Amino acid sequence: MKNEKRALGFGLAAVLLWSTVAVAFKLTLQEFTPIQMLTVASFVSAIALTVICGVQGKLHQLRVTFFSNPLDYLILGLINPFAYYLILFKAYDLLPASQAQSLNYSWAITLTLMAALFLGQKIRKQDWIACTLGYAGVVVIATKGDLFALEFDSLLGVILALLSTLLWAGYWILNTKNRADPAVGVLLGFLIALPFAVALSIYEGAVWEQSLQGWLAVSYVGLFEMGITFILWLSALKATDHTARISNLIFISPFISLLLLAYIIGEIIPPSTLIGLAMIVSGLIFQQVMKPANIDIEICKQ
């Protein structure tokens, strides 16, 4: 049944939790390598999603869903969470969190371009305006406002952050024809990715001597970036008749995140990051106000 107060509560809870993950990423990366972080966070998320699917009576769907199209689910699991989060964590490791988060936020603009390329969807005038604003904001953030010098804190970090937007948008493009239960589909992704992450950790020669704070931080990432928050967001969208109203809540997340980074981590937020992020968000809001494209992006995260 539709319940707007319930939808708003779920939506705000998801947005507030997503606003904290940049801080959690940086705290975790102080003690874990990106590969270790991926491995542990995926394990925690898989446990959380297994419990949620069990409570909802959906665990019996796992086997049937996977074997209905095993190759597709293998590819999806290797894209997200495996490749997407490994690359995103490495970007956060190389860049200030405020830059990495803001650059990653341009994924929705990337999705518009990829939908046109792979789904044959028309790019409208407002989409081009949003893309221009968004990618101009990306350049402002990446260069710290010195547009002509083209100097970066880490060129590799910038490339990885932008690559993560391609992977995330590509994941949702591939999911457009997937009719499986979303929670089951996401759990399958983690179950598929986990053995690859463990193998990569072993190959890396990972050492597991982190502090309690490190283990708590990586567990927080697994629960609230990669697990429970996704279910809260889906629940919010299912409980509302006003999807756009709920989905627009996500636009406050990066700004809350910047405040938390400054207050908790003590990270200095350059004015260029605020300006660039405002340009990206303005483009996305303009795109939403002028009616979203055919592809439904509301179920996607930040």
Do the Cβ atoms of 214 and 32 come closer than 8 Å? yes
Per the prediction, the chain carries an average pLDDT of: 87
pLDDT value of position 219: 96
pLDDT digits over 128-148, tens only?
888 888 888 888 888 877 766
Intra-chain end-to-end CA distance of the chain, in Å: 26
pLDDT digits over 34-76, tens only?
999 999 999 999 999 999 999 999 999 999 999 999 999 999 9
User: 154 or 86, which is more confident?
Assistant: 86
CA–CA dist 25, 21 (Å, integer): 6
Give residue 297's pLDDT band: very low, low, confident or very high (50, 70, 90). Answer: very low
pLDDT digits over 163-201, tens only?
999 998 888 888 877 778 888 988 999 999 999 999 999
What burial letters (b/e) apply to 74-97, b meaning 16+ CB within 10 Å?
eebbebbbbbbbbbbbbbbbbbbb
Of 84, 107, 88, 100, give the one whose Cα is nearest residue 283: 107
pLDDT value of position 174: 86
